[in-house]
A and B are shown apart, each in its own frame.
Chain A
């Protein structure tokens, strides 16, 4: 676990209005140019947990013209259109921060723009299915939610592909948005990308990132605020099986005062070579007075042979805040919880089932999309079959 505090250079009066720069390995320089992002060797700080070779295609390939099948029932007033590469750059929250995202944007040659206009209130969740049919796909998706709109948007990734994406989520002032991304890939899929979120003034945003399939998944999630008063909750769930790599790298940039963030990611690992990575960076800039942030990562290691890397980072440039903290736990079952349940007559296997179920249900019930909640509960049951089989003491 590391904590870093960065002291910005003193601001001279004539540069007081200039953009503050924070130099740290945690903050790569965003750029649309692929050449600005060399092919990683695996020794770089941000790549050191990643099996770079597995992602080789997504780090080196040129444009393929491949696409995921797009399927959605669009409610009234919600539109989907194609924009040019130039428009995509204009609209995006920020340029790519790594080579995968740079290639995704460059090779996609334009972007898909999903528009939910201002003040639209969606009664039903907007469910978008992106299905891979093999091959290599580079993709750029932009979701724009207008001021004071209310919506739940769920993107479900299925099938098989080598998939690199850049996703930009622009949330308007006062909007209330629930964004769910489900990685429910076939076992041979490889997925890496960057999701950048900009939260409008007083907007309330919840994101749920659920990763359960694929050979390797690496998602960089970045959030920033467009004005004060924005509130962000980020939940994550991941189930990592033998030989799988699942990586979530989060960065919350408190660049506006009186903003809130809460991060809670939970994972379960089982089987030889199951590897999860969670990196949670939070930056509290000097201007971000009165903010509140807490991030937590919990990993439940169900069998031998798994590895869970968990690294929270907190950089604080102002002490004038409501609160900031983080926690990270990785372990097997909590003996005290099991003892408590068993002391009431509940058998070992059933006690384990209750604990694992409880661990995930806490987050699943916040997804707000019944079809995805059901899919997640199904996955929890599948995990449990391994937990309860043959381990009764």
Chain B
């Protein structure tokens, strides 16, 4: 069994006016086979958690630790973290002009596996992964995320999740901006990934809508840079009914 363990995590965002503390001591443990949802109001630091674990240069970890399978991630480069088994599906996937989806996926797969994928099966695998997310096979010839609609970008993120098949995945508001059909397609992809039983998932979301399709084992409410409360599905139901007010009032 693998574990993603976050303990005492403090993170600053680097701004023109100096560093500002966003995460103020996050403790969280996700075992493989589990789905944890992190829910919180805007500005609570949910995305900062995702990006700092992945190693984005805009954030600086000032104290605390993040381990994956016992490996300390905080001292590793971004690509080393990914090769250690971490995947981040981004809220705003970045356009990379002139780099085709096919070339990008092959480069990523080669880097993760340490060897190039088999020519004979790879193209088939890519087309199958795209098709499952209802992306046309002509998609692989397009530049990464360039000119993609919001929904296409998110479906492309989940296609990568399935192709790269990491030990742990963090999905940062993958559901935001999706219409109901796209949300279902994306949720099915996420469910196929966790159906493997030995993968762990941290699902960051602002809305409860996606939790109708992807069922969390644990729900964390995230307020003011740390976990304010942890519970089961009933916590999400309470948020659906009452919103974040109970938590934000307490934090203020």
Residue numbers of A with Cβ under 8 A of B are 334-337, 339-348, 350-351, 354-355, 357-362, 393
Instruction: Indicate whether A361 sits within 8 Å of B98 (C-beta atoms), given known contacts A335-B57, A344-B108, A345-B111.
Output: yes
Q: Which residues of B contact A334 (CB under 8 A)?
A: 94
Instruction: Indicate whether A341 sits within 8 Å of B96 (C-beta atoms), given known contacts A346-B79, A354-B103.
Output: yes
B129 on interface, CB distance cutoff 8 Å: no
CA–CA, A361 to B104, complex, Å? 14
CA–CA, A350 to B164, complex, Å? 18
Q: Which residues of B contact A361 (CB under 8 A)?
A: 98
CA–CA, A393 to B93, complex, Å? 23
B99 on interface, CB distance cutoff 8 Å: yes
Closest A residue to B99 by CB, please name it.
A358
CA–CA, A239 to B81, complex, Å? 34
Contact B97 A358 (CB under 8 A): yes
CA–CA, A92 to B154, complex, Å? 54
Q: How far is the CB of A6 from chain B (nearest CB, A)?
A: 34
Q: How far is the CB of B172 from chain A (nearest CB, A)?
A: 11
Contact B98 A344 (CB under 8 A): no
Q: Which residues of A contact B88 (CB under 8 A)?
A: 343
Main secondary structure of the interface of A (DSSP, over half): helix
Q: Which residues of A contact B99 (CB under 8 A)?
A: 354-355, 357-358
Q: How far is the CB of B94 from chain A (nearest CB, A)?
A: 4
Contact B97 A362 (CB under 8 A): yes
Count residues on chain B whose CB falls below 8 Å from chain A CBs: 31
Residue numbers of B with Cβ under 8 A of A are 54-58, 77-79, 81-83, 87-88, 90, 93-99, 103-104, 107-108, 111-112, 143-144, 160, 164
Q: How far is the CB of B61 from chain A (nearest CB, A)?
A: 16
Contact B56 A346 (CB under 8 A): no
CA–CA, A41 to B127, complex, Å? 61
Across the interface, B164 reaches (CB within 8 A) one of A335, A344, A357, namely: A344
Q: Which residues of A contact B160 (CB under 8 A)?
A: 344
8 tightest A-B CB contacts, nearest first: A358-B98, A344-B108, A345-B82, A345-B111, A342-B78, A340-B94, A358-B99, A362-B98
Across the interface, A340 reaches (CB within 8 A) one of B87, B90, B97, B111, namely: B90
A-B contact pairs, 18 of them (CB 8 A): A339-B54, A341-B104, A343-B54, A343-B88, A344-B87, A344-B160, A345-B111, A345-B112, A346-B107, A347-B79, A347-B111, A350-B111, A354-B96, A354-B103, A354-B107, A357-B99, A358-B99, A358-B143
Q: How far is the CB of A294 from chain B (nearest CB, A)?
A: 16
Q: How far is the CB of B125 from chain A (nearest CB, A)?
A: 16
CA–CA, A369 to B104, complex, Å? 26
Given A339-B54, A354-B107, output 6 extra A-B contacts at Cβ < 8 Å.
A340-B90, A342-B78, A345-B112, A345-B164, A347-B111, A350-B111
CA–CA, A343 to B79, complex, Å? 5
CA–CA, A381 to B96, complex, Å? 18
Contact A342 B82 (CB under 8 A): yes
CA–CA, A223 to B57, complex, Å? 45
